[in-house]
Amino acid sequence: MDYRYGIHAVDSLLRHRPREIQRLLVQSGREDKRVSSLLELARDQGVAVERLPRRELDALAGGRHQGVVAEVAAVAGEASGDNLWDEAALLRHVEASPSPVLLLVLDGVTDPHNLGACLRSADAAGVDAVIVPRDKSADLGPTVSKVACGAAEVIPFVRVTNLARTLEALKEHGVWLYGTAGEAENSIYDSDLRGPMALVMGAEGKGLRRLTREHCDHLVKLPMAGTVSSLNVSVATGVCLFEAVRQRK
């Protein structure tokens, strides 16, 4: 059994994937407006509700649950949901999209907090899908869901066995790959991001892997004026995505 917690994460799960919820566990005595809205939504979706003391929710969630925990059935160790795509579904979407796609590729981001923050920024920027390698990458889970504030349940999420092969397939479908690297000569602000593109972000600390870097059409950087050499990957992702959004507007 898996547990998702936090007002935003549980609200999104109730709206988009209610069939996965076994029970909605609510802290005894919580009757505020936000919890009442969740209870009403749970009733509309036919989700069973149970009241539990806060200490029991603390033990289940292992994090700041805000008085609500969704008990979700785990399926053979895999996450489930309509927003989980394979490579074929991703390429079909690229082919059928009426406007230039905006994709986010995370090459080995292992911190679930960073993955959750990247998903939240991606959703806000209107990204078509987020792509990660199946190995050596954080996966969807309670921490990611909480940090993403609802984005983890809705934004298309693609886990691929061979990231280099997927990048090559995207290029064959007309998608330009923009990899971020501190040593790049061109700034993200001097790049044309209006066409079909994938922003490729490297892992925390190590950056892009060699093979991933070699598949990128362009390497770009964020100009750094201070003493630090780089930004947190989730912060850099948000900055780069919204530069693309700015140009496309």
Binding site membership for S-adenosyl-L-methionine: which residues? 202, 222, 231
Provide the residue count of the chain.
249
- Quote the CA–CA distance of 21 and 72 in Å, as a whole number: 5
Instruction: Supply 44's token pair.
Output: 């509309």
DSSP conformational letter for 135 = S
- Quote the CA–CA distance of 72 and 218 in Å, as a whole number: 41
- Quote the CA–CA distance of 81 and 247 in Å, as a whole number: 32
Q: Among candidates 229, 234, 223, 213, which has minimal Cα distance to 189? A: 223
Instruction: Supply 207's token pair.
Output: 């950056």
**Annotated binding-site positions:** 202, 222, 231
Burial tier of 14 (Cβ tally within 10 Å: 0-12, 13-18, 19+): buried
Contact, 28 vs 52, CB < 8 A?
A: yes
Contact, 212 vs 228, CB < 8 A?
A: no
Name residue 132's amino acid.
V
